[in-house]
Chain A
Amino acid sequence: MANDAIVVENLRVVRGGREVLPDLSVRVPAGQVVGLLGPSGGGKSTLMRSVVGVQVVESGTVTVLGEPAGTPALRRRVGYLTQAPSVYGDLTVRDNVRYFARVVDAGPHAVDAAIEAVELGDYSGARVDALSGGQLSRASLACVLVGNPEMLVLDEPTVGLDPVLRRDLWTMFRRLAADGHTLLVSSHVMDEATRCDRLLLLREGQILSDSTLPELLERTGTEDAEQAFLTLVDEAAGRHHDVPPPHVGRHVAPPPPHPPTGDGSPR
Chain B
Amino acid sequence: MNARITLTTAARILRQLRGDHRTVALMLVVPVVLLGLLAWIYVDSPGDTFNRIGPSLLGVFPFVVMFVVTSIATLRERTSGTLERLLTTPLGKGDLMLGYALAFGAMAVLQALVATTFAVWVFGLDIVGPVWALVVVALVDALLGTALGLLASGFARSEFQAVQFMPAFVLPQFLLCGLLLPRDAMPRPLELVSDVLPLSYAVDAMQEVTTNADPLGEILPDLAVIVGWIALALTLGSLTLRRRTP
CA distance A55 to B244 in the complex (A): 5
> In the complex, what's the smallest C-beta–C-beta distance from A158 to chain B, in angstroms?
18
For window 159-213 of B, CB contacts with A under 8 Å fall at none
Q: A75-B88, A86-B80, A87-B82 are in contact. Are A53 and B244 (CB under 8 A)?
A: yes
B85: interface (CB < 8 Å):
yes
For window 1-31 of B, CB contacts with A under 8 Å fall at 4-5, 8-9, 12, 15-16, 19-20
Residue of A nearest to B91 (CB): A103
B81 / chain A contacts, CB cutoff of 8 Å: 82, 84-86
B90 touches A75 (CB 8 A): yes
For window 60-115 of A, CB contacts with B under 8 Å fall at 70, 72, 75-76, 78, 80, 82, 84-91, 95, 99-100, 102-105
> In the complex, what's the smallest C-beta–C-beta distance from A161 to chain B, in angstroms?
19
A100 / chain B contacts, CB cutoff of 8 Å: 89
Tally of chain A residues near chain B (CB < 8 A): 34
B243 touches A99 (CB 8 A): no
A90 / chain B contacts, CB cutoff of 8 Å: 16, 19-20
CA distance A99 to B82 in the complex (A): 12
CA distance A91 to B77 in the complex (A): 13
B246 touches A16 (CB 8 A): yes
CA distance A95 to B16 in the complex (A): 10
> In the complex, what's the smallest C-beta–C-beta distance from B142 to chain A, in angstroms?
21
A139: interface (CB < 8 Å):
no
CA distance A80 to B80 in the complex (A): 15
A27: interface (CB < 8 Å):
no
Tally of chain B residues near chain A (CB < 8 A): 24
CB-contact partner of B245 in A54, A99, A102, A143, under 8 A: A54
CA distance A53 to B244 in the complex (A): 7
A72 touches B90 (CB 8 A): yes
A166: interface (CB < 8 Å):
no
B89 touches A75 (CB 8 A): yes
A52 touches B12 (CB 8 A): no
B87: interface (CB < 8 Å):
yes
Q: A70-B243, A88-B82 are in contact. Are A53 and B15 (CB under 8 A)?
A: no
A253: interface (CB < 8 Å):
no
A15: interface (CB < 8 Å):
yes
B8 touches A103 (CB 8 A): yes
CA distance A118 to B20 in the complex (A): 27
A127: interface (CB < 8 Å):
yes
B8 touches A99 (CB 8 A): yes
B20 / chain A contacts, CB cutoff of 8 Å: 90
B87 / chain A contacts, CB cutoff of 8 Å: 54
> In the complex, what's the smallest C-beta–C-beta distance from A234 to chain B, in angstroms?
33
A54 / chain B contacts, CB cutoff of 8 Å: 84, 87-88, 243-245
B224 / chain A contacts, CB cutoff of 8 Å: none
Q: A70-B244, A91-B15, A103-B5 are in contact. Are A86 and B88 (CB under 8 A)?
A: no
B88 touches A76 (CB 8 A): no
CA distance A85 to B86 in the complex (A): 13
Residue of B16, B20, B89 with most partner-chain A CB within 10 A: B89
Residue of B nearest to A55 (CB): B244
A26 / chain B contacts, CB cutoff of 8 Å: none
CA distance A99 to B89 in the complex (A): 12
B88 / chain A contacts, CB cutoff of 8 Å: 52-54, 70, 75, 78, 80
> In the complex, what's the smallest C-beta–C-beta distance from B61 to chain A, in angstroms?
24
CA distance A82 to B81 in the complex (A): 7
Residue of A nearest to B244 (CB): A56
CA distance A42 to B108 in the complex (A): 48
Residue of A nearest to B90 (CB): A75
For window 226-246 of B, CB contacts with A under 8 Å fall at 243-246
CA distance A55 to B4 in the complex (A): 27
CA distance A261 to B86 in the complex (A): 50
CA distance A88 to B73 in the complex (A): 11
Residue of B12, B16, B85 with most partner-chain A CB within 10 A: B85
For window 87-145 of B, CB contacts with A under 8 Å fall at 87-91
Return 13 A-B CB contacts under 8 Å, by A number.
Answer: A53-B243, A53-B244, A54-B88, A70-B88, A76-B89, A86-B82, A91-B12, A91-B15, A95-B12, A100-B89, A103-B89, A104-B89, A104-B90
Other A-B pairs, 6, CB within 8 Å; known A56-B244, A82-B84: A56-B245, A76-B90, A88-B80, A91-B15, A95-B12, A103-B91
Using a CB–CB cutoff of 8 Å, the interface residues on chain A facing chain B are 14-16, 52-57, 70, 72, 75-76, 78, 80, 82, 84-91, 95, 99-100, 102-105, 127, 143, 147
- The list of the 6 closest CB pairs from A to B, nearest first, reads A86-B81, A102-B8, A80-B88, A99-B12, A86-B85, A82-B81
